[in-house]
Structure 1
């Protein structure tokens, strides 16, 4: 079977094929559609063919290994197609995830949504992410959503992008989104190296022996008893907001909530055991023995990521809690013998992104170096680092009162372009308008009668005004957080290819490989001898992501890098400063 070559893709075309597609190497789009009867429809360049499902890994491997072509696999959902290929030992360099990209295009302000309508479009709109199976197998369902035509949807998406006034930026966003989906599947496949015995010892030290099913560990039982005794409330449930507020009220303590930060201000003997209970109960519930049983096997923690799980494009987790990694259990993430964990995080990602997307030269100048906030002090904009942090975070999150509000007012004069960008995003949100990230992701629309004044009592008008201001705060932060997510996607998309080339030969988990991604932090599992090389590739990928997203406007994205055997030691001996 032959597939017609498409146009050459280069970095400046927005294809995000950094170091993967060289000059003169043709890129082919190969669409894969599932068919009933364990068959796959393969299309591209007007050619159609069918293949037995069992033969697909060999087919994909042969084309990935062919130096004369650079296939881009076009499929409905990476989470459905890629895990079985990885299980068969096949690594894919690039893809186009139709589900993720359709979601982007449906919301993108620069796209004519009518170009996405057509055969099966309603099914595409409803298509959700596949859950990562414990033992990946290729497809076995007969529902319409399992047999969507990838070639028809691909043609619609290509036409929608081509007709857009922001085709280059959207092309980069779609490529980054799809590359992120590949990275997510690879991280689940490889897993975080995990020492079960260390985790169990940690739990036993903190909570006591493993309890019977549905029972509390001994330490938690003791803390519950102490809280009840101190409050004089034998039936108190420490998980109940009502019970705790009632107990505090009887003790003469009036608090608006039971958040830990609020309780720490209370002077009562029950508070110390209550706060200890809350902390340890959270550990037991989220990363206790049940979590170990479900998510750790074969000395690997394999979380299930959901790329673009939030409206800003940030990832979420389908399970395992990879994006809320508690400090208490990080010491159980230990590299294999002869390997290390290379941990890199970006210093002040979102303020740097704000400088780049607003093209604010003064803020970009302050961002030169490891600590942007200290750079603002050196620039004479503020007196202290804390003032700088309060002002910038206040601008991005809509602080209008207190110390943050005062700092925002002063910094607006020093960094007018940056502060004007988030202010305009907030005003657009208050008008009920959709805003967009730098590469074109649109914010969700609230719809409804936003511009119509209510006919009811003044309270209705006040409620509408609060709603407008709340959405304005959301859109203010959306543009920065969403663009930060785009930068991070470009970073890991380039990095996964760099790590693959760095490792020589062998499967993904026998080369340096990504094992964890936390918005502005990545963890790479690598042979100890390659630690310095991995650190260099991390920095080069970060610099490259800045050039891809912000083009000719230079913004520094310095990394703090730790090379450790245990993730719990990350940050204690950083290669570069900056927090």
Structure 2
């Protein structure tokens, strides 16, 4: 993620051409504007000769266009839209639009155009339309890109930790490259296995929009258990009165409410809801929408969550049910290298706080077990509850007593998260290890529906406590995202060095999957381990805390767990 030559890239609105301009590391023009009739070919030529860092308005708009035309996979880029979002956060301006057009307007003291909403799963964004629409007619897109990029470089260096912010910008931009590539390559998906799983769970596929056989059978059983009168299990307005008629009063049909009820209809409804969700979220209709040519092709949204975690535009790529992981099957002669960073957030807390006791526990393969031996008489479950309570701000019940133990035995770790909570309660912001900044509270986000009102606290105080819990966890979760993005960028680079065939096909906050020829699986496993270690050094520096990645080379995703 080091510096070097930068080249600004602006494709033409139509056709295959476009313009380039070489820049210094600071963003100053280092050459004349170049026009190329085949822009993708020129990008490929330069990438093969001496890869620069490509500067463009938005990776998710420009890179698919380049990838489709040349197949070239750039080593590095600077994504203006993603970097602008990070810098706006650093400056306490989270709610400002982040597009190239908006950034250019701010530079010139003009009204800021609003960003276009993220397209939905069924919407296809018009190539480069968002930024071009936001730029006024008198603004040249290449000149605007060069000016905004130079301003971003200046602002990156103006923060409290410019080196960390530069690393975060580079990692976020590298993640954007990987996201496009994973969407294009896709996660191997077996329709045959998927069918077998669905039929085993739901029965044969029904015609039209009818319920699958097992759901229909469960609906009849629920109706019989509730007295025999017709009731639609998908309608709370019908289910709640039906339970009331048999003497069971419910506030809602949510799973936690049903689990507290000792009635046969409740267990049946829980099973119905579980299978109904499977049918709706990952059933036959889902596969027809999202699986093409034996690949599940997700649309990732980099930085889609304020903590830096990714989101998706539909498809549920980050929530593949455990039951359906058997449908993720490597191609013949290939393997899936599945790597999981276990207990990532507790290790982040240990590294950030420098707490010696927690650092010692993190040296073990199972941090919770080591913590239990150190402070909780060997009771792993109590140790886990205590550590999660510290990170998430849980104080009620047994968690409150366990927190007292944590505070005595691991004072530096507790001081870190409690300081973050106090900052949030006061309306302040906290920053991840590399500088991702928490948003400031707004009235609409300070509502905590599950807050304990018995203490008579005022609405303002309850809101402050709610935001304190958010900033407490943001500090850890966002720093975990820093490590995961740095690991992803390092792994992508190392896979490229191995050869063209190992491909990243899945990523979420603590897990990656690489699809690789079987003969290269060992090299890929080594690359994963090295990438995790590189990310540890880059993000956390000289720390004794380790971030082990448990790696499995398997034919089927389900076999890795």
Question: Structure 2 vs 1, CA of residues 257 and 132 (structure 1 numbering), >3 Å: closer, same or farther?
Answer: closer
TM-score when normalising by structure 1: 0.86
Q: Shift of the alpha carbon at 1:554? A: 2.6
2:387 counterpart of 1:392: yes
Structure 1 unpaired stretches of 5+:
1-15, 18-25, 451-458, 572-579
Cα deviation per residue 1:468-505 (whole Å; 9 max; x = unaligned)? 111111111010001001110011110011111112xx
Q: Shift of the alpha carbon at 1:215? A: 2.0
1:234 corresponds to: 229
TM-score when normalising by structure 2: 0.88
Q: Shift of the alpha carbon at 1:31? A: 1.1
2:141 counterpart of 1:145: no
2:59–2:79 CA contact under 8 A, matched in 1? yes
Q: Alignment RMSD, CA only?
A: 2.9
In the alignment, the residues of structure 1 paired with residue 61 and residue 276 of structure 2 have an alpha-carbon distance, to the nearest angstrom, of 35
Q: Shift of the alpha carbon at 1:327? A: 1.4
In the alignment, the residues of structure 1 paired with residue 213 and residue 464 of structure 2 have an alpha-carbon distance, to the nearest angstrom, of 49
Give the alignment of 1:154-169 within 5 angstroms.
Answer: 154-169=149-164
Question: Structure 2 vs 1, CA of residues 124 and 134 (structure 1 numbering), >3 Å: closer, same or farther?
Answer: closer
1:31–1:75 CA contact under 8 A, matched in 2? yes
1:354–1:480 CA contact under 8 A, matched in 2? yes
2:19–2:39 CA contact under 8 A, matched in 1? no
**SS of equivalent residue, structure 1 residue 65:** helix
In the alignment, the residues of structure 2 paired with residue 319 and residue 348 of structure 1 have an alpha-carbon distance, to the nearest angstrom, of 27
Give the alignment of 1:356-505 within 5 angstroms.
Answer: 356-380=351-375, 382-447=377-442, 462-503=458-499
Question: Structure 2 vs 1, CA of residues 138 and 120 (structure 1 numbering), >3 Å: closer, same or farther?
Answer: farther
Q: Shift of the alpha carbon at 1:270? A: 1.4
2:560 counterpart of 1:570: yes
Question: Structure 2 vs 1, CA of residues 489 and 142 (structure 1 numbering), >3 Å: closer, same or farther?
Answer: closer
1:575 corresponds to: none
Greater shift, 111-120 or 325-334, is seen at 111-120
In the alignment, the residues of structure 2 paired with residue 335 and residue 406 of structure 1 have an alpha-carbon distance, to the nearest angstrom, of 47
2:107 counterpart of 1:118: yes
2:449 corresponds to: none
Give the alignment of 1:171-320 within 5 angstroms.
Answer: 171-232=166-227, 234-320=229-315
In the alignment, the residues of structure 2 paired with residue 406 and residue 229 of structure 1 have an alpha-carbon distance, to the nearest angstrom, of 45
In the alignment, the residues of structure 2 paired with residue 121 and residue 191 of structure 1 have an alpha-carbon distance, to the nearest angstrom, of 41
Match of 2:324 among 311, 322, 329: 329
Q: Shift of the alpha carbon at 1:397? A: 0.7
Give the alignment of 1:45-194 within 5 angstroms.
Answer: 45=23, 46=29, 47-51=31-35, 55-66=38-49, 69-87=50-68, 88-109=70-91, 117-119=106-108, 126=115, 139=128, 143-145=132-134, 148=141, 149-194=144-189
1:111–1:161 CA contact under 8 A, matched in 2? no
In the alignment, the residues of structure 2 paired with residue 537 and residue 141 of structure 1 have an alpha-carbon distance, to the nearest angstrom, of 38
Give the alignment of 1:5-44 within 5 angstroms.
Answer: 16-17=1-2, 27-38=4-15, 39-44=17-22
Q: Shift of the alpha carbon at 1:258? A: 2.5
Question: Structure 2 vs 1, CA of residues 94 and 134 (structure 1 numbering), >3 Å: closer, same or farther?
Answer: farther
1:22 corresponds to: none
Cα deviation per residue 1:138-158 (whole Å; 9 max; x = unaligned)? 657894238843212101111
1:36–1:142 CA contact under 8 A, matched in 2? no
In the alignment, the residues of structure 1 paired with residue 351 and residue 481 of structure 2 have an alpha-carbon distance, to the nearest angstrom, of 14
1:82–1:185 CA contact under 8 A, matched in 2? yes
In the alignment, the residues of structure 1 paired with residue 395 and residue 427 of structure 2 have an alpha-carbon distance, to the nearest angstrom, of 20
Aligned length: 532
1:3 corresponds to: none
In the alignment, the residues of structure 1 paired with residue 514 and residue 309 of structure 2 have an alpha-carbon distance, to the nearest angstrom, of 20
1:78–1:97 CA contact under 8 A, matched in 2? yes
Greater shift, 333-342 or 133-142, is seen at 133-142
**SS of equivalent residue, structure 1 residue 27:** coil
